[in-house]
Structure 1
Amino acid sequence: MYMRIWDIVKVANDPTETRPLILCEYSHAMGNSNGNIHEYWEAIDSTFGLQGGFIWEWADQGLLKDAANGSKHWAYGGDFGDTPNDLNFCVHGVTFPDRTPHPALHEFKYVYQPIKVSLREETIKITNTYFYETTQALEFSWAVHGDGCELGSGILSLPSIEPQSNYEINWKSGPWYSLWASSLAAENFLTVTVKLLQSTRWVESGHVISSSQVQLPAKRDVVPHVIKTCDGTMHTEIVGDIITMSQQNIWELKFNIQRGAFESWKVEGVPVMLEGILPCFWRAPTDNDKGGNVASYLYRWKAACLDNVFFLNESCAIQNKTDRLVKIEVVSLGIAKAEEKPSTVSNKSNILFKVNMTYTIYGSGDVIMECNVKPNSDLPPLPRVGIEFHLNKSLDRVRWYGRGPFECYPDRKAAAHVGLYEKNVSDMHVPYIAPGECSGRADVRWVTFQNKEGTGIYASMYDGSPPMQMNASYYTTTELDRATHNEELVEGDDIEVHLDHKHMGVGGDDSWSPAVHEKYLLPASLYSFSVRFCPITAATSGHDIYKSQL
């Protein structure tokens, strides 16, 4: 039980072992977990003798309890005055106690789906992994999206595929090829969906049993967009420590030189950004982060004071100022602090990070942020490498181009298709019984935050930086760390947003040892990335702004 992938493959490849291998328990589903499950199934699908396993477990074993105010909540060990107890170690299912699915259930459906689709070189291979059924009772359909927008769709006519067999198509001969050939999109994705034609004893007709997405070959090299300085002029005023930049009544930015950060950002008179932009390397610990006692990620993070970092502005200077752009360079030191915020660096050994952030503010309203991070080399693997800022609470409409629509993380995202999605901030929250890091969306190319009138802010990867991990929540990281039950969470006065250049995996091989795979760890090394921000109104869209930089 809980054997690692490399161990089960080793057993299956042992020429003296003739028995099949089934994991009686694996992929411990405690809270935000079940990372690496796709890698288990890549091994199981490709290695003779591996037959699968049993996830621990199906449902969170919480009990419904009445609170003093008459509300009900899911309770666990210790909530009934029981001593001793295992706290929330009974809460490790792929569904909540009422059988509402956790986001990870999408990943399980994906790796278990009987029809697999892959693209290698010019061949699309559709594999029927059933052992006894053909595909005669199934309907195949296709859809092509360019930069998130649907270009076309239709029924995919295929001959019946025998059990344990496959059918190959040259992707250029498919009905989607003409759409790809005429597309101007930087990215084109083909999605193949498989549905049941007839109802069965367990599900109605039309039920999706498989859905796969493959990225079609790129048609051209994407040349990073350069903001043109002739796109607009702006007014700049310096009073004391505050630089105010604005363009008529369209937007206004205030930058605090002493703090080395934005003081405020208004779009059409509406306050959008209330605080930030600041580096961030901490996340609210998950159950898996806590597993392993002194070897756990959480223990090592706290020993290194990663949960208690204050950024001190070492220097802030205006590098360039014209009527079309202002360039500001900020050097910040991330210091392990005591109870009080330090005003100076008293001990260089307390410096955990040195961060260079360069902001170029254009008359068009665009802000290009270039970030270079140098962590102390003695630090353990980092929870995240990114930025944090806070938005007006009214900017609760989130629209993004990336993976979704459900929560996904670097090591649990195979089921999350790349597309255009929209949700309210409140709907992005995943109410895990014991709170922690949650609600992330992986591989985000761009994201907008807007109020009901359409006013807000746009952010995207820029200048060759990879897609981002995005998170937006009414609950601060501190609050997610503090609360022991979801119903204890208290909303903040704004929306806390994280845009991560890199985010550590959630792990899940088990929950009692540090089990995030090495490829999903973030070593304490140099990181560089860029993000583009700009104002957005009802007259524009995130898609149009993104297209302008391709």
Structure 2
Amino acid sequence: MKPQDWQAMNVLHRDREKSRSYFIPFSHENRALTYDRGNSDRFKLLNGVWKFHYAETPQEAPAEFYKDEFDVSGWDDMEVPDHWQLQGYDKPHYTNVNYPFPVDPPHVPTENPTASYQRDFHISDGWMKKLVYLRFEGVDNCFHVWVNGHEVGFSKGSRMAAEFNISSYLCSGKNTLAVRVYKWSDSSYLEDQDMWWLSGIFRDVYLLSRPKAHIRDVFVRTDLDEDYQDATLNVDIDIENAVEGLKVEYQLLDAWREPVNDRFLDERFQIQIPVKNPQKWSAENPYLYQLVISLKDQHDRVLETIAQKVGFRSVELKDGVVLINGVAIKFKGVNRHDSHPDYGRAIPLSHMKKDIELMKQGNINAVRSAHYPNDPRFYDLCDEYGLYVIDEADLETHGFETVGNINRLSDDPAWEAAYLDRMERMVERDKNHPSIVMWSLGNESGNGVNHAAMAKWARAKDPTRLIHHEGDSRELFWGGKRQVDPTVSDVHTTMYTSIAELEEVGQYTELTKAHLLCEYAHAMGNGPGALKEYWDTFYKYKRLQGGFVWEWADHGIRQHSADGQEYFAYGGDFGDQPNDYNFVIDGLVMPDRTPSPGYFEHKKVIEPVKVDAVDLDAGTVEVTNRYDFISLDHLTLSWNIEADGKVMQSDGLSLEGIEAGQTKSFTVPFDLPKPLKGGTDYWLNLQFTLAAATSWAPVGHEVAWAQFMLAQGAEPSYEAGDMDSVTVEEAGSFLYVQGANFDLSFNKVLGNIHSWKCDGLELLQTGPTLQFWRAMIDNDHRSEKEWKNHGIHWLQQRTDQVTWKLAKDNTSISIKVVQRIAPPMLAWGIDSEITYTIDGNGDVLVDVSGKPTGNAPRTLPRIGMEMTVPNTLDQVSWYGRGPGESYADSKQANRFGIYKKSVDELLTNYVYPQENGNRTDVNWVTFANGHGMGVIISGSNTFNFSAHHYSVADFDQAKHTHELVKKDEIYVHLDDQQHGLGTASCGPDVLPDYELITGDFSFKFRLTPFSV
């Protein structure tokens, strides 16, 4: 170990092997074709329990722990792979931009937590006759390695492989491996990604046994002809310790392992196989061939065999558009970290599969490996399941933005070797994956000569893929130079570009490169909003080729409160300072992979089948195939007519022969009843489901859907009929209203209903009262300042007048309340008038109007009424959008229908509590007990509602889910309008169409007791 290797920027490694593609060698072809490393006698996994010692500094770590005589029996045990911060040593630390240490490259703090690992392993006599390599797939941040007391090497670069030849240090039988890992190094300045700072051996560690002459590396390229039809498979093979007489035997097999070509022997170690019209790999049809390569000696004996899955596909930039296999595609992508709520970045294979299955089920076709090369097995899965990948180098220097020069390291030639090292190791490891269509030069590191060097090297090594670099485009676009193409990147790639700016970019025809949003639609908490508008814009312009939502998953770390309640921690929860709080909770799925409402909204907006109404009276619709390559033959189209929550008719239609990009007209042969039932809506529902099971979803999985209102039955005429009379008694501050089966008391001082019972059942505990505040969502942070400056969260109510009048026939009473709602300290307010009409049947009609006065805020969070009902009325039914949560700018995923849920099921349990559970476009909602008794609420127009066992203040004050204390009563919100969601947590705010502009308002609700 050389002193201070961890802050010597010119020391990138010591004795690390040259980078190569990721593969496992096998002794036999049949085993190789299983791709299961457990079937290889050349592979030995070293994961498991290691001995572990933690020190606060390198100097305090045991100096000679790697020596044979050093006793580690008293050390703790540590699982490998894992992070030591998740096992009780040091602490997790979250920052987005800022470095958590002084910015003084290449220096790092003396307080540099250092872990010493040790374990024994056994080597057989057979392995002693071979070369043995030790490979680490990921160690954060840098590390030294010893075997049997001998120093093997050193490596930096956390999310990249490091391989060492340990053959000369081994002995037959027991051997000892020792590793020292440092939390900080000069390379930490290049790894300032938006994520938890977590350290340790967090990916697989294993041994490989190789013959002296072996296949060191393989580079697979599939070259399609100009018509994108026929192809040539070109493979370069690098042989270690090549001697005369060596040769490779190879054969290409199809997906069913049937030969595509004869077996060939080659002594040049270059394979060239012409393939007539191969199946083309795409995210929609991820067809993989299998290439088997065996190295043979001069006696024709197999030395080793490897298998490579091959996808024939091309990537190019042509006429300002990215083409895959000659087709301009749309990237319907997400940004993905390696993340797990218990294991951090030490993720199991099953968890990767879960991520990809959810992505495919959500119509996602692309992933950006934000912001480093992911676990190598993830790319195998992307190849197999079908996802386009932007593979991103392990490079981010965002913290230099804080100190005023984001380009500081990127434009400093002294760091070029470190930059190139990260590019070279990523490309070499991942170069054989058809899923990878672009190499990315890192993220949020500005722009400079080192990026140019990375791009130059990558293009020379691999001209078959494009280069992505957001730092190049950022300067051009945000600098107002939209007429200039980026010089390094093959695509314009920007972040959080507004829809208005996208329109401008789409209309600008002089740019020669496509445009991607490498980050947009910040999926933090409740949101994002306006996904539909983004995708309407993407589809409008060919050059706008989609984007990648930030991000796939919340990075919360699973914790438990003192009383055993589970919650997910974020920045600051471990005493980590400085931190960026809950900014790490910003995914379409929650830490445990529960899909959020945003996941379903995104799925709906990017669905690959579009349906347009042509002539609904005749049942004519147009179905457009929005896939880029495949027909709709794999889907089943079923339809039904639904009214009053019941299916009246249903059948199916054939989708056969609708090729990618084509549109076909259909006539749905429904038959509406005559006459239509009064007050009933008739809906045509179309559903597109998988006709057969796939690797990522079962048969019947819904891919897309559409819904159209066919007709509305005339509203039935209302005849009051015999109405019971009401009696009114005025006593002190209360009015007491009684009918044949109800009792209602009204508080004249507060101007609202105090109690309401029907047939002895309490229907209302407090309210309804006007409510203009909502629990702040993450996307409200810009509006929140204005709203709080105007005191909307502090509004107070003043009742100016309460008058009442009994109808002449004594069958109803109207109570008129004049109030002013205003904040303390300020002079603006809302003058409101609410009229309660209570009739003899117990119905309560609430007629509300209001007028802002003075220097009111430009927008309001909500306009509506809040009331509480007893806990017994926890069974909720409604007619409107559902079944999930929806808001003005995020409701495409919810179709109209009649739905039933409990109050608990209406909650969206966001990691960071906030406004949630709203339902939009509601005609009526009921709250009932288990016996079917309760209240039905209807509006003169459609409205929003939500219901929880928590108040607005509860959601506003809680910072974690376990801090929410469930109340007995149910808080019901009936909103005329709510402000939209937008994506302002890190992106554009609410679009004008979805802002709740302060102004005069009026609305009505009717509350009716019922029993079924």
Is contact 1:444-1:468 (8 Å) kept?
Answer: yes
Q: For each residue in 1:353-408, what CA deviation from the matched residue of structure 2 results, as whole angstroms up to 9, or x when unmatched? A: 11100111111221111110112352220000111111011110011001111111
1:104 lines up with 2:578 in the alignment = no
Q: Distance in 1 between matches of 2:622 and 2:884?
A: 27
Query: Which residue of 2 is the match for residue 36 of structure 1?
Result: 530
Structure 2 residue 857 is matched with structure 1 residue 365: no
Matched, 1:125 2:125: no
Moved more, 143-152 or 444-453: 143-152
Asked if the contact 2:879/2:899 (under 8 Å) is kept, the reply is yes
CA deviations on 1:137-189 (whole Å, 9 max, x unpaired) are 211001122244332222134553121011123xxx52224358745454222
- Tell me the distance in 1 between the aligned counterparts of 2:751 and 2:565: 45
Partner in structure 2 of residue 530 of structure 1:
1004
Q: Deviations along 1:331-350, whole A, 9 cap, x unmatched?
A: 11112137xxxxxxxxxx54
> Could you say what secondary structure the match of 1:496 adopts?
strand
> Pick from 152, 161, 164: which aligns with 2:658?
161
Are 1:411 and 2:889 an aligned pair?
Answer: yes
Tell me which residue corresponds to 1:293.
none
Q: How many residues are matched? A: 513
CA-to-aligned-CA distance 1:61-120 (integer Å, 9 cap, x gap): 111124333443200111101111111011100111111111111111111211111214
**Deviations 1:256-307 (CA, angstroms, capped at 9, x unpaired):** 22221101011210112001111111101111111xxxxx211111111100
In structure 1, distance between residues paired with 2:623 and 2:539:
14
The CA deviation at 1:15 is 1.6
The one-letter code sitting in structure 2 at the alignment partner of 1:93 is G
Going from structure 1 to structure 2, the CA distance change for 1:131 and 1:351 (only over 3 Å counts) comes to closer
**Alignment partner, residue 2 of structure 1:** 496
Asked if the contact 1:193–1:212 (Cα under 8 Å) also holds between the matched residues in 2, the reply is yes
- Matching residue of 1:401: 879
Structure 2 residue 663 is the aligned partner of structure 1 residue 188: no
CA distance in 1, matches of 2:852, 2:862: 12
1:457 maps to amino acid: V
Normalising by structure 2, report the TM-score.
Answer: 0.49
Q: What is the match of residue 284 of structure 1?
A: 775
For 1:345, the equivalent position in structure 2 comes to none
Aligned residues of 1:402 and 1:445 also touching (Cα < 8 A): yes
Alignment match, 1:542: none
The equivalent residue for 1:443 is: 921
Deviation, structure 1 residue 229: 6.9
Equivalent position SS for 1:445: strand
Match in the other structure for 2:562: 68
1:504 aligns with 2:504: no
Q: In the alignment, what sits opposite 2:948?
A: 473
- In structure 1, what is the equivalent of residue 732 of structure 2? 240
CA shift, 1:206, in A, is 1.4
CA displacement, residues 465-490 of structure 1 (integer Å, 9 cap, x when unaligned) = x3111010101001110111111011
Match of 2:631 in 1: 134
SS at match of 1:378: coil
1:14 aligned residue (504, 508, 520):
508
Question: Pairwise CA RMSD of aligned residues?
Answer: 1.9
**Structure 1: which amino acid aligns with 2:641?**
V
Which segment drifts farther, 486-495 or 301-310? 486-495
Q: What are structure 1's unaligned runs of at least 5 residues?
A: 291-295, 339-348, 539-550
Quick one: which of 932, 952, 960 aligns to 1:454? 932
Question: Please, which of 789, 802, 826 is the counterpart of residue 316 of structure 1?
Answer: 802
Distance 1:49 1:184 in 2: 49
Paired residue secondary structure (2:581): coil
Matching residue of 1:269:
760
Taking the aligned partners of 2:593 and 2:751, their CA distance within structure 1 comes to 48
Equivalences for residues 209-248 of structure 1 within 5 A = 209-218=703-712, 222=715, 228=720, 230-248=722-740
Give the deviation of 1:42 after TM superposition.
Answer: 1.5
Determine which structure has more spread, i.e. the larger CA radius of gyration. Answer: 2
Quote how far apart the aligned CAs of 1:520 are: 1.0
Structure 2 Cα separation of the partners of residues 21 and 181 of structure 1: 53
The range that moved more, 479-488 or 370-379, is: 370-379
Distance 1:265 1:26, change over 3 A: same
Alignment map for 1:141-160 (pairs within 5 Å): 141-160=638-657
Q: Which has the higher contact order (CA 8 A, sep 6+)?
A: 1
SS of corresponding position for 2:583: coil
The code of the aligned residue for 2:777 comes to T
Match of 1:334 in 2: 821
One-letter identity of the residue aligned with 1:424:
S
| 1:256 maps to 2:731 | no
| Superposed displacement of residue 493, structure 1 | 3.2
Which residue does the alignment assign to 1:485? 960
TM-score after normalising by structure 1? 0.89
- Asked whether 1:518 is paired with 2:988, we answer no
CA distance in 2, matches of 1:115, 1:496: 39
> What's the secondary structure of 2:888's corresponding residue?
coil
Contact 2:496–2:986 (CA under 8 A) maintained in structure 1: no
Q: Is the 8 A contact 1:12 1:20 kept in 2?
A: no
Equivalent pair of 1:289/1:514 in contact (CA under 8 Å) = no
Residue identity in the other structure for 2:528: N
User: Which consecutive residues of structure 2, in runs of 5 or more, have no partner in the other structure?
Assistant: 1-494
What is the CA–CA distance in structure 2 between the aligned matches of 1:486 and 1:336, rounded to whole Å? 29
Per the TM alignment, residue 239 of structure 1 is displaced from its structure 2 partner at its CA by 2.4
Distance in 2, matches of 1:358 and 1:313, equals: 13
The aligned amino acid for 1:318 is: W
CA offset at residue 516 of structure 1? 0.8
C-alpha distance after superposition, 1:5-39 (max 9, x if no partner) = 12112212212124222210000011001110011
> Match of 1:403, SS?
strand
Residue in structure 1 matched with residue 585 of structure 2 by the alignment: 91
1:298 alignment partner, one of 770, 784, 794? 784
1:252 & 1:197 partners in 2: Cα distance?
Answer: 57
Q: Which segment is superposed worse, 139-148 or 444-453?
A: 139-148
Q: Secondary structure at the match of 2:695?
A: coil
